[in-house]
Amino acid sequence: MIVRRTRRSGTTPPHGWVSLRPGRLRRLRGAASLFLVLPLLLGLIGMPANAPVVRGDELSDARAQQNALKKEVAEQKAAVAQLRNLQSGLAAEIAATKVQLNGINADLAKVKIRINRMTTRINAVRAAYKALVVKLGALDNRLVAITASEERKREQLRERRDQLAERVRAAYDTDRSSLLEAFLSGGTFTDLLAEMSYVIDVGEQDKALAKQIASDQVILAALHQAVTDTRTQTETLRVETAAQKKALDASLKELKAAKAHLAKLEKQVKRELARQRAVYAQVMRNKANAAKALAAAAASQRQLTSKIKALIRQQANRGNIPSSYNGTLIWPMAGDVTQNFGCTGFEWEPPQGSCAHFHSGIDIAAPMYTPVRASGEGTVVFAGPNPYDAYPKAWIVIIAHSTNLITWYAHLDNGSHPIKVSAGQHVNQGQVIAYNGMTGRTTGPHLHWMVELNSNFVNPRLFL
């Protein structure tokens, strides 16, 4: 028997078509719709997030945004790590610089180089921090956009769910008879199939809508996961960035203090050097006399050096001077270093090697009568005025720490604060041996400290 579909219009069906009563038609349509839609609704409840019904383009966009966020978060983490690496050790280096500045007779030239190096490093840290803040702001903006997309998709899902619910309610509000009731009402099975064929179009629409809802759920889940993960990681990055900013601010404060301290010391040294230059400028007006004075000073030092060697041999033969010195030296006096060891621009210093003017020791300027201490344990081999100096004679103490290591202390006071040690006396490191003065040719109270190693004057800083 051939089953024909009823027409959709309200006109009379042509010959050969089966005609059904309106009430029965409504029951069958509702039952068939329920038969078709209910499994779809039940399927939505347990549908996994990666259900194959999802539309590719929209889900790809959502996951692309998710991946983009992950990439940006990874870049942020790398930027924070770079900032942390830039700052690592910076605080310790600044602290060491402060100790160096606060120590006795800082080498201001070296400290200045160190501070300039740290300034460059901090500028790099500041630039990295600013770039990190910009990236974090961009990540916040992207997070806001993704959150808005999530809200739009959530609203779209809500509307489609409401639409499907309304279609289901419309199908069953008029008659809630089940498909079995329709079958038992007296019609033939052929009539039932015809009615199901009539309502099949409505079922396909419901099925498509249900699939769209499933797609929306998957896309919404992807967006929500991206927002949740990014928000958590962004807050962590924000905390880490704030910590780096705090460390940077502390470093800037300490570096600023170190620069101020350095400027103060440089100003003191500059003032003392200006005073010395003014005094020596008067001496240098008569260049012939100045040259004669330089030659005499050099000769005097050579003669005294020869005498000291003989005195050391005598003391060594008596067992008073060891063959080697195993310790380190300390600064003999605190003050401002006005001249370091080596080539100098001061014209009153004698030539040596490739230097037109060479300073064989370190000059430390300090107030009159500042205590001068032994740089190391040893035996005093000379104490008094240099017998080879022309007037005015410089008062000197010379200590042998071993047969090949000797320290010289010149321009000591011989007035109200005379030298406290004598030749042949054993002294300990740090023991007061004399007081700062102005004996000999000097522009002001200062100590001329020299270290002699193997008959050559060397940089005293190498032994500190």
Tokens of 16: 């050969």
Residue 380 is inside which H or E element, if any?
strand 378-385
CA 413, CA 444: separation in Å to the nearest integer?
12
Give the residue among 182, 211, 185 at the shortest CA–CA distance from 199. 182
Per-residue model confidence as pLDDT tens digits over 397-437: 999 999 999 999 999 999 899 999 999 999 999 999 999 99
CA 226, CA 425: separation in Å to the nearest integer?
83
Q: Residue 187's CB: how many other CB atoms inside 10 A?
A: 18
CA 262, CA 101: separation in Å to the nearest integer?
7
b/e sequence 154-172, b meaning 16+ C-beta within 10 Å: eeebeebbeebeeebeebb
Instruction: Give the mean model confidence (pLDDT) for residues 253-267.
Output: 83
Please tell me the least confidently modeled range out of 6-10, 228-232, 235-239, 384-388. Answer: 6-10
Give the residue among 157, 162, 269 at the shortest CA–CA distance from 220. 157
CA 93 to chain centre: 13
Residue 45: the pLDDT is 39
**Mean pLDDT, the chain, whole residue set:** 74
- Greatest distance between any 2 Cα atoms in the chain: 150
Residue 43: the pLDDT is 41
Give the residue among 273, 260, 277, 413 at the shortest CA–CA distance from 336. 273
Phi-psi region of 106 (alpha: psi -120 to 50; beta: other; left: phi over 0): beta
CA 413, CA 369: separation in Å to the nearest integer?
7
Tokens 């928000």, residue?
231
Each domain of the chain, given as residue ranges in start order, spans 22-268, 287-463
Tokens 């930027």, residue?
79
What DSSP designation does 53 have? T
SS3 of residue 441 by DSSP: coil
Kindly give, in sequence order, each residue whose CB lies less than 8 Å from that of residue 182, ignoring residues fewer than 6 positions away.
24, 27, 28, 31, 192, 195
Residues 84-93: contacts with CB under 8 Å, at least 24 apart: 84/244, 86/121, 86/124, 86/125, 86/128, 87/125, 87/244, 87/247, 87/248, 87/251, 90/118, 90/121, 90/122, 90/125, 90/251, 91/247, 91/250, 91/251, 91/254, 93/118
Q: Which residue has better confidence, 349 or 437?
A: 437
- Give the amino acid at 358: F
Tokens 């960035």, residue?
241
The CATH fold assigned to 287-463 is Glucose Permease (Domain IIA) (2.70.70)
Please tell me the least confidently modeled range out of 35-49, 78-92, 246-260. Answer: 35-49
Phi-psi region of 455 (alpha: psi -120 to 50; beta: other; left: phi over 0): left
The CATH fold assigned to 22-268 is Ferritin (1.20.1260)
Residue 282: the pLDDT is 63
Per-residue model confidence as pLDDT tens digits over 81-132: 777 777 777 777 777 777 777 766 777 778 888 888 888 878 887 887 787 7
Q: Would you call 435 exposed, middle or buried from its count of C-beta atoms within 10 A (0-12, 13-18, 19+)? A: buried
Q: What is the dihedral of CA 237, 243, 247, 252, to 10 degrees?
A: 70
Residue 68: is its pLDDT beyond 90?
no
Pair 304, 386: CB distance under 8 Å: yes
Residue 141: the pLDDT is 80
CA 67, CA 74: separation in Å to the nearest integer?
11
Residue 14: is its pLDDT beyond 60?
no
Residue 423: the pLDDT is 93
Give the residue among 290, 274, 448 at the shortest CA–CA distance from 359. 448
* CA atoms lying within 13 Å on the CB side of residue 414: 15
Which residues in 241-311 belong to E strands, given as ranges? none
Q: Pick from 34-43, 188-197, 273-282, 387-396 the range whose average pLDDT is largest.
A: 387-396
